Amino acid sequence: MLPEHAPTCRPDGGFTLFELLLFIAVSLILLLQGVPAVQGVLDRLQLQARSQLLHSSLTLARSEAIRAQRPVWVCALNSKVNLEIQGCQSSWNMRMSDWPEGVLVFADPAGQPNGRYDSGERLHHVLFSGGAVQVRASQSAFAFSAAGRLLADSVPRFELRSRQGQCHSLQLLPSGRGQWCRQEGCCA
């Protein structure tokens, strides 16, 4: 004969509603603890990806200038709502200008250099999708010479900043090559 208060065995061997709710609550707490860490990793990856896109565009512009033996321009992309290229963003004479839409690389036709984007002059463009990483530069446009050097007296400096404040900095040298800084204190 069984005692009156002996535990009863469930024939199906499943979980009670209380056990299931407790499991869900503990799992949810653990998941919420990990979300900020995952967001930090995603921001870092987006910052790296944007940095690589910018660097590859600048490298392509410099290489094209040397290959074609003509100046090649780089500017902040200005695109329409449907992402059709409209040209370069206008300069606002600020210390740092935003490059929110992307990068445009173009070259004027031989014998018609004007340093402005005209239809058909595009060599390359990169669209920056989403606003997870802010790209700013000390200039809204600059050019590489046929020797691959910068044409301007001042050298462009780029800052790429994630939503969480992580920052990469790219300083173009007069030679046209870039120098990256990916440590604390690189950005002003």
Mean pLDDT, the chain, rounded, equals 85
pLDDT single digits (tens) 30-48: 888 877 777 788 888 888 9
| Residue 98 pLDDT greater than 70, yes or no | yes
Distances from the Cα of 179 to the Cαs of 43, 170, 176, 182, 186, in angstroms? 22, 6, 10, 10, 11
Residue 63 maps to a domain: yes
Residue 29 maps to a domain: no
Residue 12 maps to a domain: no
Mapped onto helix, strand or coil, the DSSP state of residue 111 is: coil
Contact 99, 76 (CB under 8 A): yes
Residue 57 maps to a domain: yes
| Residue 95 pLDDT greater than 60, yes or no | yes
Predicted confidence at residue 20, as pLDDT, reads 92
Residue 9 maps to a domain: no
pLDDT single digits (tens) 123-181: 988 888 777 889 999 988 999 999 999 987 788 999 999 888 888 999 999 999 999 98
Predicted confidence at residue 1, as pLDDT, reads 53
State the residue range of the domain holding 177: 40-181
pTM: 0.77
Alpha helices in the chain (DSSP H): 17-68
Residue 22 maps to a domain: no
- What does the block give as tokens for 4? 């009156």
- Domains in the chain: how many in total? 1
Q: Label residue 92 by pLDDT band (50, 70, 90).
A: low
Contact 152, 38 (CB under 8 A): no
Contact 158, 187 (CB under 8 A): no
Cα-flanking dihedrals φ and ψ of residue 187, to 5°?
A: -100, 145
Task: Give me the residue label for tokens 């870092």.
Answer: 44
Alpha helices in 69-171 (DSSP H): none
Residue 50 maps to a domain: yes
Distance CA 31, CA 16 (A): 23
Residue 81 sits in a domain whose CATH number is: 3.55.40.10
Contact 77, 100 (CB under 8 A): no
Predicted confidence at residue 66, as pLDDT, reads 95
Residue 111 maps to a domain: yes
